[in-house]
Structure 1
């Protein structure tokens, strides 16, 4: 199996490097400075094992790849970039090969199913960062994170078993499950706090804001009849994802904070808090807190996407006032 990692950022970078270092055949799809750096000097993975440089082919667009029947795609782009990435893959010749959605949110899999028949859901628990082109860091040990995966909308197949085996060899313990969307909805609840970490100053107490957002999210999922699996403080997470004491590259915050820090020009809030808002509207219930925080993300980007733009008192007033 050859693995195509589409979106070599923080998560995609750690996964691509780990797979390559474990002997797996990998091709990356990246852009900008990351693409240039990987082509010039490989991708540096900073982990508890030290500094390792992974060298693998990397392209700027799927049309530079001659796809094979034994390919599998790990889709690691942000939710707002999924539609374009899927269209590019299809136009480049991808067809029935498995596509694994290694992304936050739950909108990617249904969208992928419009393009491809062989879609798989992946819940990613991986505290990774990418702040400098050509360098990624993983901030837990002894494993690089934990994944849950399975066929979308349910079940599993040989592609799931093969991908899980490859990830296991790459120090990413992976559970194959028939209800792979359940942990993805659990991760969605956790991600409802991503935008507060971006709006507030570094080190601020986000819990008074995140907990109500998540409780509202749980109520909306219940109204929609959607079950979810807890992926927070689990025994599996405690075993495989202990905090790493020191890393050369400091943790850049959650994925939304890192997007702002790199000046990507977009954040994925519409596919996180916005998912809860959309579900609430569909079910005829309300999600006022998630709707307000979603609108605050729009205001944030309209101001140029500068993080840490609100104090705790200001966010308190805007969210609950």
Structure 2
């Protein structure tokens, strides 16, 4: 197999780098300054116990493909359709992304689609550089067919990842794991807006309670944090790099880079969508979705809203919905 990693940022860069270190054929696909840095200097992968520059082939768009190629899509969800559109439709696609909408979008265009539930603490804010904070392995990855099942290619992908510094498992219920991760990712907008401020955990608890209630009403199964912790055990811990903890998650990083977009429509927005379909109010996630998008659009820095301001906006939305 050749693994073509589309979106070589924090997650895609770490996956591509570890597969390359494991002896696999890898191509990284990136854009702009990040692509130029990869092409000119290679990918610098920093981990708690290493700092290496890896000479991995890179491209800024589609390349001629061959038998055995696998696309690993690691872009943000809002970029899924545009990122996949130029690639041949016969290739298998692995959606190594947060959210639960990507696989269905890919399946409209590609015959073979796999979900990957990603627990991978990493950081990408500088062109050509990715930091992976997982130790001693870089992350926990579940791989399975979409919408369900686990065929031989899924098992091979998981085996290759497991032998390349990840804890990787094949599962026939990958979307259950991805819905569980969705609930965890509701925190992304809170962190992006307020940072690690006191009181933010209360907002997150309310957002998760809304999300859990919606999934229960919809009859959608989801994994639990306890299941994830048991699987990670002491095989994947978050360690500082150079004495510094990771600055923030994927949404925080989007604001820090001033990218102009953020994943909130596919995280908090997924709960809002389900709530509207079921006739259930979701004011906490609605405000988080709206404000995260506003911050991205206005290129506001992460952590520049107070918890008190956010709580006030949620209270106002809740009151408006109850009239």
Map 1:22-33; keep pairs closer than 5 Å: 22-33=22-33
SS of alignment partner, residue 149 of structure 2: coil
**SS where residue 130 of structure 1 aligns?**
strand
Please give the residue correspondences for 1:255-270 in structure 2 after superposition, counting only pairs within 5 Å.
255-270=250-265
What is residue 116 of structure 2 aligned with on the other side? 122
Report deviation, 1:231: 4.0
TM-score by length of 2: 0.93
Cα deviation code 1:98-141 (max 9, x no counterpart): 10000000000000000001000100000000121111111121
SS at match of 1:252: coil
Q: Does the 8 A contact of 2:184 with 2:208 survive in 1?
A: yes
Partner of 2:95: 101
Which residue is 2:321 aligned to?
none
Under a length normalisation based on structure 1, what TM-score does the superposition of the two structures give?
0.94
> What is residue 148 of structure 1 aligned with on the other side?
142
State how far apart, in whole Å, the 1-side matches of 2:243 and 2:61 are: 30
Work out whether residues 27 and 57 of structure 2, in 8 Å CA contact, stay in contact via their aligned partners in 1.
Answer: yes
Q: SS of the residue aligned with 2:125?
A: strand
> What residue in structure 2 maps to residue 54 of structure 1?
54
Q: Aligned partners of 1:24, 1:231: CA distance in 2, in Å?
A: 32
The residue that corresponds to 2:282 in the other structure is 287
SS in 1 for 2:82: helix
Q: Distance in 2 between matches of 1:273 and 1:320?
A: 17
Aligned pairs for 1:219-234 (under 5 A) are 219-231=213-225, 234=229
Aligned: 1:88 with 2:82: no
Residue 33 of structure 1, CA deviation: 1.4
Tell me whether 1:296 sits opposite 2:291 in the alignment: yes
- RMSD (CA atoms): 1.5
CA contact 1:73–1:100 (8 Å) conserved in 2: yes
Cα contact 1:100–1:121 (8 A) shared by 2: yes
Q: 1:288/1:248 Cα in 2 relative to 1: closer, same or farther (>3 Å)?
A: same
CA contact (8 A) 2:142 2:170 kept: yes
Aligned to 2:168: 174
State how far apart, in whole Å, the 1-side matches of 2:195 and 2:96 are: 28
Secondary structure of 2:143's match?
strand
How far did 1:302 drift?
Answer: 4.0
Cα deviation for residue 175 of structure 1 reads 0.9
Equivalent position of 2:43 in the other structure: 43
Q: Within 1, Cα distance between the matches of 2:215 and 2:310?
A: 25
- Report if aligned partners of 2:261, 2:293 keep a CA contact under 8 Å in 1: no
Equivalence for 2:4: 4
Q: Contact conserved, 1:121 with 1:152, CA < 8 A, in 2?
A: yes
| Alignment size in residue pairs | 315
Say which is worse superposed, 282-291 or 162-171, in terms of deviation: 282-291
Q: Deviations over 1:136-177 (max 9, x none)?
A: 111121110010010000001111111111101211111101
Contact preservation (8 Å) 1:105, 1:188: yes
1:204 Cα shift? 4.3
Is the contact made by 1:47 and 1:247 (CA closer than 8 Å) also made in structure 2?
no
Of 278, 300, 303, the match for 1:308? 303
Q: Superposed, which structure 2 residues align to 1:203-214 within 5 Å? A: 203-214=197-208
User: Deviation string for 1:263-290 (max 9, x for gaps)?
Assistant: 1110000000000111111122221211
| Structure 1 position 236 matched with structure 2 position 231 | yes
